[in-house]
Structure 1
């Protein structure tokens, strides 16, 4: 079985706005399997937005578990993420899942991984996936030097830069905002 490559997901908080976006490309081996995958989901009646990189089936399993944790912990994103990370690391079934999540609410961004990490990134910019370093670098520069841009503008431009460089990232972007 060919392993599906990652993607690029980027979240930014800027000037009171939160935006998270991802490209739509899924690759299998050396070909593009699909060009318009939706890797961004809103949870908790639109109060939390989440993006994923990695195996789609694994990511959906994690999103379902995260949604359950959100409901169990009264919508506390940080608490739900910590509890998900604990389960992800200790549960024999979940431990085998190959995906990463970025989740954001109106106040913060978190990166959640299967190693038990729940990270709140510096500068309110987080990226995951194969093009993450390109997108994150662009977002940090735009946030610092183009302060007139919205969070959505920064995410869009940064993902387009990543798509120009990373072969596992395309220009079919989905971006969601929270105010």
Structure 2
């Protein structure tokens, strides 16, 4: 049975803004089924950008779950991402979903995978999908060679380069951008590994 291929999503945090771009191509086997698919969404009243790569139905199912987590934990992207990754890894139905998600707000850029991983790129640049590595390499080169470009301009140009290389990526691009309020260029997110007193006491008693 033929499978769906495609999708390139690129996120760049630069000069006080975060931009996310995605192409529009959906490929089934060797056939282009759609050229103008929308793979970028604005969530939480426009404060969060979300892009997805993988099987279309699976991606939309995860997008719906993530939107629910954002409602449960408003203004807390990392907690919403953690809860989604936890549910994605442990739920039998969700474990079969084949997709990747990248999410970003004014502070963080995160990759969420079905293995329960949440990855924050050290330089604020993240690419996923069939042409993700091409777009990532192009974006990093542009950041070094032309740092005066805006985040949206870097995403646009890097995605165009990826589309020239990857057969599953086209040039029907959608780029969304939000402003960053954090003064630190790439704030780090750390998961606390400290045990609570109750956990420590129960561990000693056993």
TM-score by length of 2: 0.85
> How far apart are the structure 2 equivalents of 1:49 and 1:23?
15
Q: Map Cα deviations across residues 59-101 of structure 1 (whole Å, 9 max, x no partner).
A: 1111111111111112311110011001101100000001100
**How many residues are aligned here?**
179
> How far apart are the structure 1 equivalents of 2:118 and 2:140?
21
- Runs of 4+ aligned residues of structure 1 deviating over 6 Å after TM superposition are none
TM-score by length of 1: 0.98
> Highest Rg: 1 or 2?
2
> Which position in structure 1 is the counterpart of 2:35?
35
RMSD of the TM alignment (CA)? 0.8
> Which position in structure 2 is the counterpart of 1:54?
54
The 3-state SS of whatever aligns with 1:154 is helix
Is 1:131 the counterpart of 2:131 in the alignment?
yes
> How far apart are the structure 1 equivalents of 2:142 and 2:83?
33
> How far apart are the structure 1 equivalents of 2:7 and 2:55?
10
> How far apart are the structure 1 equivalents of 2:34 and 2:13?
29
**For 1:1-179, what aligned pairs fall within 5 Å after superposition?**
1-179=1-179
Offset at residue 6 of structure 1 (A) = 2.8
Offset at residue 143 of structure 1 (A) = 1.2
Structure 2's unaligned 5+ residue stretches are 180-206
Q: Map Cα deviations across residues 21-56 of structure 1 (whole Å, 9 max, x no partner).
A: 000000000110100000000000000010010111
Q: Map Cα deviations across residues 110-159 of structure 1 (whole Å, 9 max, x no partner).
A: 00010111100121000100101100000011112211100000000000
> How far apart are the structure 1 equivalents of 2:33 and 2:6?
12
The 3-state SS of whatever aligns with 2:5 is coil
> How far apart are the structure 1 equivalents of 2:49 and 2:80?
13
